Amino acid sequence: MVKKIIIITLSVIVFIFLTLEAVGFYLSKRGGADEMSEDAANGKSPNDLQAKIVNLKKRIAHLSPKGPYLVIDTAKNRLYVRKGEEIIKEVIVSTGSGSILKDPKGNRQWVFDTPRGEHSIQSKTSNPVWTKPDWAFIEEGEDVPKSFKDRVEEGVLGDYAFHLGDGYMIHGTLYTRLLGRNVTHGCVRVGDKDLKELNDTIPAGTKVIIF
């Protein structure tokens, strides 16, 4: 709940900041004594606006994670490595399809969205192994196995996986031709070269913001 409030607050602050930036730019380009006199009469001082903008920038900087963090745009299927306001790296990825799967033998259903909000890399794994959940078998029209070993599948998650919790991961893919599209079951797929670079430079504990 606290994380949601922080995200909403940050969004409002960014909106206000962009609005004030636009107003400040407009005022800075206006000319003429009559226009400036009218602004002064209405209490709209450019200096006051600039002071508010500076204050908002400080507040935004305070809310931003310290050090590098990841931002994932699910609409554009892009992953950004950011530090403060600087974009250090941009990566083409694949995110959730948004499709719905219903269990024909019960009342269960799954929505394959990438979870929005603020997360963190809880752990990192080399040569990860996928433990297939029930929906993976149902989607393929197969019976859900009773044995755990029948759920284990190797070689489908690439060389590395960053665990975000609740089964969601940033991981590699066998289907690089589909990068840039919304085709996953909720995880974030990354190409091999980019995934290795992320693994080498992004530590566990790094913040991940998904929208």
Is 50 or 138 the better-scoring residue by pLDDT?
138
Q: Which helix (H) or strand (E) holds 198?
A: helix 192-201
In angstroms, the CA 160 to CA 201 distance is 13
User: With contact defined as beta carbons under 8 Å apart, do 60 and 17 qualify?
Assistant: yes
Q: Using 50, 70 and 90 to split pLDDT, how confident is the model at 47? A: confident
User: With contact defined as beta carbons under 8 Å apart, do 192 and 120 qualify?
Assistant: no
SS3 state of residue 41 = helix
Percent share of the chain, pLDDT over 90: 66
In angstroms, the CA 179 to CA 171 distance is 12
Q: What is the pLDDT of residue 50?
A: 80
In angstroms, the CA 197 to CA 158 distance is 13
Does the pLDDT at position 32 exceed 60? no
Domain 68-210 sits in which CATH superfamily? L,D-transpeptidase catalytic domain-like (2.40.440.10)
Least Cα distance to 56 among 22, 28, 18 occurs for 18
Mean pLDDT for 167-179 is 98
Q: What is the pLDDT of residue 57?
A: 65
Q: What is the pLDDT of residue 37?
A: 45
Q: What is the pLDDT of residue 65?
A: 77
Lowest average pLDDT, out of 20-24, 92-96, 105-109, 205-209, goes to 20-24
The model's pLDDT over 75-85, given as tens digits with 9 standing for 90+, comes to: 999 999 999 88
Lowest average pLDDT, out of 35-44, 78-87, 171-180, goes to 35-44
Task: Give the position of tokens 């998904």.
Answer: 210
Least Cα distance to 53 among 9, 11, 16, 7 occurs for 16
Q: What is the pLDDT of residue 69?
A: 97
The model's pLDDT over 104-156, given as tens digits with 9 standing for 90+, comes to: 988 899 999 999 999 999 999 999 999 999 999 999 999 999 999 999 999 99
Does the pLDDT at position 194 exceed 70? yes
Least Cα distance to 31 among 46, 53, 52, 18 occurs for 46
Instruction: Tell me the sheet residues that pair with 87.
Output: 82
SS3 state of residue 25 = helix
Does the pLDDT at position 6 exceed 80? no
Q: Which helix (H) or strand (E) holds 166?
A: none
Indicate the domain borders of the chain. 2-63, 68-210
